[in-house]
Structure 1
Amino acid sequence: MLVPGGPAVTAALTASRLGAYARLAKLDVWDYYLALPLAWSLCGFTGTGVLLLFGVGTVLVIAAAVALDDVTGFRDGSDAANYGPDAPARRLARKPLLTGELDERQALVFGWACAVLGGVCWLGLGLTAPLWTLVLLALLLVSAVQYSYGLKISYRGAQEVFLAGFGCGLVLCGVGLVRGAPTALAVVEAVVFGLGPLLVGVYSNANDAAGDAAVGRRTVAVLAGPGGHRAFTAGLTALEIGVVVFAAGLGAGPWWFALALLPAMACRVAQLRVGVGLGDALRARRWGLLAHRVAVASLVVVNLVVL
């Protein structure tokens, strides 16, 4: 017996389920994906097909990491604490396990399926690349899957290392897959890129410190306390600015490299003022996203001129 409106209802439910999976994969947070156009520009705008497949793998691997992270956060209650009704600035809809749109089994199947498919894309490409690229791809894949699941490296004091290292590694792998060996400029730009997600994450960690401490997630914000974490954040900001300022002196970039990155560094200083000076971690996080995106756009322009 046909139910009136049945196909329409089915389509709506399907769309809703797909939307829940998209939010589980955090597809609206695309800042790591900017490693792909940056690597493309470092390769002289060649290797498009290779980098597109690498990009597909990157989306899948990141989707696996954040889906498994949500499973762990759902199990230990940290997401409920950080995204609950007492935290109105956070969007609960970003956590479909908390809203009940997906269950734990569905999230696990999705996460592991993405990990396998992403790994096939990455490691398949790596078989024709230099050995260091293949090894780095494998390291990025394993660490992403184990970020908050399995070994739980983000719970064991290595979250900040992962956030920077993963971004840096994406750029270097993209270059390695196309060119074989990174230039000094590519290494500098990879470091600047990696510091971008880190200088977003540290402000999120400042906001989530209480919830993370309650479940044993040892971030710097938890271990160092408010004062120590502010000093750590200021130090990271100074490190990024230092890399940019001294890139030309180290022979890695043109003399005007720092001038090209000036808008991004201005955003970074504004982020430090808002987050450390005024104590508004979530607004500082938004400044961090802007600083990272402006930095990547500026680096692409540098590469367009230099390479």
Structure 2
Amino acid sequence: MTSRTEAGPFTSGIARPESKIRSYARLGKLDVYDYYPSVAVALSAVLLPVSGLPPATIVTLALFLFGAVFVIVAMVSLDDVTGYRDGSDAANYGPDDPLRNKLRKPLVAGTLTLREALGFGWATAAIGAVLWAAAMATAPYRPTWTVVLVVVLFVFSVQYSYGLKISYRGFQEVFLAGLGAALVMGAYGLAAGHFSGFLLVQGVLFGFGPLLFGVYSNTNDIPGDRAVGRPTVACLVSPKGNAVFIGSLSAAEFLIGAVASAVGIAPWWFVLLMLPVTVLRVRQYLTGFRQGDIMRARKLGFPAHRVSTVLLITANLIVGAGAAG
């Protein structure tokens, strides 16, 4: 049983409703895996022809993927520590918001103690650092820009809401998109050894996925975030301004692909291939701001991102098959 004293002031002190392993999995948000396919996007860009793929590439990308899992688990675990300490998670997952499952926040639910969460966060960060170092050591290529990117990515990730508290300084939205782009480019740089404008476009579009369910979460979390001074765009502007902001992000996602196709960074057909994502974004936006169901709109962001990821991989395979032929 977890006592009120162990769990802290924002929990009910009730008996533990689930196992420690389950609670740690919830702390690390292992059910939200949408950053991890970034490595599949990078792999698809170097996969064809298969006969020309160095065996070391697969080892490197596997290590990079496992490292990404541990680094992101550390990031979200330390984010929960900060959210618990400042009370924002208690506000956002409290009795006034029945749509949020409190068990997803083990510190608020009392299923883990603060000491356990901190230990888990730093242990997973250390494992992630070792795995990324191993990925760079085994990589067939180590361009300087990629090594610097991976190091910066690690340092910034663990300080997303801890240490420097990047998300508390007005950079949350940029970080959410930048993390996805950096994961794609980091994996690609180690596998290919050179920069690609087309892969950068894909990385940015990949990053828009987490961004475009993050901003809907922020819209729901305005009271709790304002109470602790977390300056998300949703907190800083009016409801209408926030709706315009999210609508502009949705339009920008389409325009990035359209401009890339128009200027030759991407194949001419790339913008057409990505149109299903635009359709899903329109549905997501109308659900959130026309029907007023923000949490359902947030949920719709997950399939939209996953469709986008599959289409990005498809684009790379088409390009690779053409080059191989």
Pick the TM interval, shorter chain. Answer: over 0.9
Q: Conserved in 2, the CA contact under 8 Å of 1:123 and 1:137?
A: no
Partner of residue 265, structure 1: 278
Q: Distance in 2 between matches of 1:279 and 1:167?
A: 28
Higher alpha-carbon deviation: 137-146 or 39-48 = 39-48
Q: Which has the higher contact order (CA 8 A, sep 6+)?
A: 2
Partner of residue 57, structure 1: 67
Q: What's the secondary structure of 2:249's corresponding residue? A: helix
Higher alpha-carbon deviation: 217-226 or 24-33 = 217-226
* Structure 2 letter corresponding to 1:266: V
Q: Distance in 2 between matches of 1:303 and 1:131?
A: 24
Check if 1:101 corresponds to 2:114.
no
Measured against aligned partners, the alpha-carbon deviations of 1:77-102 in whole angstroms (never above 9, x if no partner) come to 11111011111111111111112111
- RMSD over aligned CA atoms reads 1.4
Q: Structure 2 matches for 1:162-181, cutoff 5 A?
A: 162-181=175-194
Match of 1:124 among 124, 134, 154: 134
Superposed displacement of residue 246, structure 1: 2.1
Superposed displacement of residue 193, structure 1: 0.5
Partner of residue 10, structure 2: none
Check if 1:245 corresponds to 2:270.
no
Q: Structure 2 matches for 1:223-242, cutoff 5 A?
A: 223-242=236-255
> Taking every aligned residue pair, what percent have the same amino acid on both sides?
51
Measured against aligned partners, the alpha-carbon deviations of 1:141-196 in whole angstroms (never above 9, x if no partner) come to 11111111111110110101110100000000010011111322111111110111
Superposed displacement of residue 50, structure 1: 1.0
Superposed displacement of residue 279, structure 1: 2.5
Match of 2:30 among 23, 27, 36: 27
Q: Distance in 2 between matches of 1:78 and 1:249?
A: 44
- Unaligned runs of 5+ residues in structure 1 are 1-12
- Unaligned runs of 5+ residues in structure 2 are 1-15, 321-325
Q: Conserved in 2, the CA contact under 8 Å of 1:204 and 1:282?
A: yes
Q: Distance in 2 between matches of 1:119 and 1:276?
A: 41
Match of 2:102 among 71, 84, 92: 92
Q: Distance in 2 between matches of 1:104 and 1:50?
A: 34
Q: Distance in 2 between matches of 1:126 and 1:210?
A: 42
Moved over 4 A (4+): none
Q: What's the secondary structure of 2:263's corresponding residue? A: coil
**How many residues get paired?**
294
Q: Structure 2 matches for 1:157-196, cutoff 5 A?
A: 157-196=170-209
